[in-house]
Amino acid sequence: MKLLEINNLHTISNDNKKEILKGLSLKINSGEVHVIMGPNGSGKTTLANTIFNNPKYSITSGNIIFDGEELNNLKPNEIAQKKIFMSFQIPVEVPGVTNAQFLKTIKSNLSDERLNLLKFSKEVRENMNKLKINPDYLNRDLNVGFSGGEKKKNEILQLLTVNPKFAILDETDSGLDVDAIKLVSKGISLYKTKENAVLIITHSTKILKYLDVDYVHILSDGKIVKSGDRSLANFIEENGYASYIK
């Protein structure tokens, strides 16, 4: 079943009106894991933000269809309500809001059912154990004082808590050591089912060693210029992006 369809997408930055995405097209089906790779400035993070209609960017042409519905004119919170999740390159710190409060709030707002607090608390703690997150972190302010690895694992905890239809993971492996990459990969594998899908944006092939990947796409100058299986990522690791940069 087709879950996400992006058709000839053109996007500009609202700061300088520069075109960043220049006719990008992509289709992702339920049950698939897709990877976007590319050199700095190629438009990878812009793609993630455009799917969520970040007001820093504007779509000038093309469209984004999710689960049969166009997202172009929806607000970010309305897109989240469609059960789309996005992790960030640099997760923000939120003083005054504890991890427990944040997880409870997002689960309550995105769930179709009334939240069973006992069941919810048990599931969160089980997931924290699987990700080797100290349970004391539930009472700490969201990401405040967390290391880079702790922040990234915390976002995977949020992913497991929300259990969305579609997850966009923007450089969730950035700055992580091998052990942390393994735990983040484990969390992604725990989330993944035949009913949902994942789009991983990364500079590195390290995280791909621990995941089952269906498609790898090379993004250059705002377009997908090459698609293939995970062997394409291996080629990039050995040869770099020179073959795909204009």
Average pLDDT, the chain: 93
Residue 174 pLDDT grade (very low, low, confident, very high; cuts 50, 70, 90): confident
pLDDT tens, position by position, 205-237: 888 889 999 999 999 999 999 999 999 999 998
Long-range contacts of 10-13 (CB under 8 A, 24+ apart): 10/59, 10/60, 10/61, 10/62, 11/43, 11/46, 11/47, 11/50, 11/57, 11/58, 11/59, 11/60, 11/222, 12/57, 12/58, 12/60, 13/46, 13/56, 13/57
pLDDT of residue 89: 84
- Has residue 112 got a pLDDT over 80? no
pLDDT at 243: 85
In the structure, what pLDDT confidence band is assigned to residue 246 with cuts at 50, 70 and 90?
Answer: low
pLDDT (mean) for 35-40: 92
pLDDT at 28: 98
Which pLDDT score, from 0 to 100, does residue 172 have? Answer: 85
Model confidence over 39-66: pLDDT tens digits? 888 999 999 999 999 999 999 999 999 9
pLDDT tens digits, one per residue of 148-164: 889 999 999 999 999 99
pLDDT of residue 5: 98
DSSP characters over 109-137: HH-SS---HHHHHHHHHHHHHHTT--GGG
Q: What is the pLDDT of residues 75-110, one digit of tens each?
A: 999 999 999 999 988 889 999 999 999 999 999 988
The CATH topology of domain 2-92+164-244 is Rossmann fold (3.40.50)
Q: Quick one: pLDDT at residue 37?
A: 94
Query: What does the pLDDT average to over 105-134?
Result: 90
